Amino acid sequence: MRAFFAFFALIAMGCTSPQGIGYSALDVEVTHADGGSVDGFPEKSCTTLPVLIGSRVVHDYSVDGALSIHVDADRGGVGIFFWRGAAEPGAPARRYSVDELSGGVSDQLDVESATGEMYVVYLSSKCPVAQ
């Protein structure tokens, strides 16, 4: 009986906290091959995976106008595509399932732009700021 009253007292006191949904996300960061920062690359480059069936979240990031990073996420996972010029790539350079993201992803890719410049793309499931 005491536990019963304690339980309702906790509710009355608001000791339970609201709980949202746990989201998976992928953060994209880019540097020049020598580690220098890329001008104009957005600080907020985190893609949060959607929850609903059929939902899609698509982000495009331009790197010095010579390379485009296309992030295409649905609730099952996220694909990373690199576009050099007008040609669209057929397959993603990387694809991570929602389970892989939940387990933790930290990846690094060396990518060459259309002008031959080298960049390093960092992919991480830890997002500093969710979008």
Q: SS3 of 101, please? A: helix
As a whole number of angstroms, the distance between CA 78 and CA 5 comes to: 47
As a whole number of angstroms, the distance between CA 5 and CA 116 comes to: 70
Q: Where are the alpha helices (DSSP H) in the chain?
A: 2-12, 98-103
Position among 75, 84, 94, 95 found at the interface with another protein (CB under 8 A): 75
Position among 1, 4, 6, 17 found at the interface with another protein (CB under 8 A): 17
# residues near another protein by CB under 8 A: 21
Nearest distance, CB of residue 117 and another protein, angstroms? 29
According to the binding rule CB under 8 A, does residue 48 interact with another protein? Answer: yes
Residues that bind another protein (CB under 8 A): 11, 14, 16-21, 23, 48, 50-59, 75
